[in-house]
Structure 1
């Protein structure tokens, strides 16, 4: 059975930072795209390779394939992509109709580490089924959330897979599915497996690879460089602190640690006034040296009026992970005479772990009074101080 690889390289890669599109950035003397193409050109089971590029990237593309001069016959002339990834894949599939392969492997240009064994499994999966995608087990607990960041459900991790490329299909089946989606006015499928599901093709999952990373954020490129050098990623520990205070006002509850706590007062605040989550957010931002909560969520912006502080903490944690970092520990001390923390401590810890995607042993929560001294001692307000320990990839080893 003939096999074609369709490599999608038409994106702009804005999350990787400013400058050259990520698929053309240098990795140890070769562009990402050059390395990705090389993996398929060298595979004996792949007969044809077609690259879909952005119309503005012709010079970058030509520079990337110059490494293969004289150009092998297996490398077909490139085609231009469309407005969406789905449109780009369809353009590539239409161009492949001339060679009419039996199997097509659709792969992201920004995944340069697909191994020969992974490509073998993809080809075999397409021979066995009409549609198949590589997947790796999910190690983190996943939460399905509602519009107010409330947890709706917790899927069983054993049934979940993180999907990668190359995704493998019978060529005729995938082309037909793409044409049907375009005719239906659908253009925003970001994954060919999902489009195949929409077209009611049974989609199977075969074994992916943890090393088949997609280069998305700057930290991914640092990891790729280290990998090619044969050295492991090294991390440095950062510590940040945070403090927040709110005056009491009218109301019958306060929000603390993501939990609604009954109280004879409320707090005066632009958002929900959760001092614990605000302090934790600032602690993480401090460890990142990335401003404070007011920088990211200005109180002058009406969209944050009454907002759940879950959003603030989740945003700060996501910034760490976008940089390839790890949140190690969160520690908070609540300062007030009332309400008492004890009855709600474990519920708050659990809620913080859900928001931040951590284990329970990574979240500490304490409380103290100020011995009737100061504004907290006079029950005029409530405060919290926090510390966050994170690890970030070392930029200059």
Structure 2
């Protein structure tokens, strides 16, 4: 099986809105539904699990019914941090998945999921045991000497930006979260599954990415999302 694990447990305080950002309507549709539709439409996805903010479970189920998200199988509560939320989602799948099943972890507030990106991350996971969506880094990165100056940079051709979706074989993913939380490795601050895996000594494998795969973090990101929804690719572009 191939199961999408969607993380939608955040309260969205940075957007300054009265409701969680994943439930804000854009063009009369909640952000989380745009995200779920990408997985609903993909032929390789068998089921969807959403880690959801407490108090919003039934609202999410109602939206899923309204928008015909028939692959939604489980809605569970998140944790105090992003890593706790992912852990909860992984643990809920224990006994439901085989070790070789593929779990695709994705942020609920990345609504522009591309079919080719999702397909490639699954292919890489089938080949190597994991696959992480990535892009080249096109800006120059400098290391601070102090608050006002620098004299050292990191060659950008040595860098990759990693996003979600990320895909992992279930057996390794379950092992990783049990070990990480038992040994307190890679679970604090801004840690995510990818950084945790590296902290545990695992090798990650790059998959295709997309610049349209934005993460809605601030109020301005909603305007960018609306603009991307309205854009159509020019017919002359390859």
In 2, distance between residues paired with 1:147 and 1:184?
A: 34
- Which residue matches 1:332? none
Give a deviation string over 1:285-317, Cα, whole Å, max 9, x none: xxxxxxxxxxxxxxxxxxxxxxxxxxxxxxxxx
Alignment of 1:162-311 (within 5 A): 162-186=161-185, 187-188=187-188, 190-230=191-231
Structure 1 residue 95 and structure 2 residue 92: aligned?
yes
8 Å Cα contact 1:131-1:196 kept in structure 2: no
Offset, 1:59: 4.2
Offset, 1:67: 2.2
Give a deviation string over 1:320-377, Cα, whole Å, max 9, x none: xxxxxxxxxxxxxxxxxxxxxxxxxxxxxxxxxxxxxxxxxxxxxxxxxxxxxxxxxx
Give a deviation string over 1:237-276, Cα, whole Å, max 9, x none: xxxxxxxxxxxxxxxxxxxxxxxxxxxxxxxxxxxxxxxx
In 2, distance between residues paired with 1:56 and 1:68?
A: 20
Q: For the structure 1 residues 194 and 149, does the alpha-carbon distance in structure 2 shift closer, same or farther, using more than 3 Å as the test?
A: farther
- Aligned to 1:76, the other structure's residue is in SS state strand
Offset, 1:185: 2.9
Root-mean-square deviation (CA), in Å? 1.9
For normalisation by structure 1, the TM-score amounts to: 0.55
Offset, 1:152: 6.2
Alignment of 1:1-397 (within 5 A): 2-69=1-68, 72=70, 74-101=71-98, 102-146=101-145, 148=147, 150-151=149-150, 153-186=152-185, 187-188=187-188, 190-230=191-231
For normalisation by structure 2, the TM-score amounts to: 0.89
In 1, distance between residues paired with 2:12 and 2:200?
A: 28
Structure 1: gaps of 5 or more residues:
233-397
8 Å Cα contact 2:3-2:45 kept in structure 1: yes
Offset, 1:21: 0.8
- Aligned to 1:215, the other structure's residue is in SS state coil
- Aligned to 1:36, the other structure's residue is in SS state helix
- Aligned to 1:106, the other structure's residue is in SS state strand
Structure 2: gaps of 5 or more residues:
234-238
In 1, distance between residues paired with 2:120 and 2:51?
A: 23
Offset, 1:184: 1.3
Q: How many residues align?
A: 229
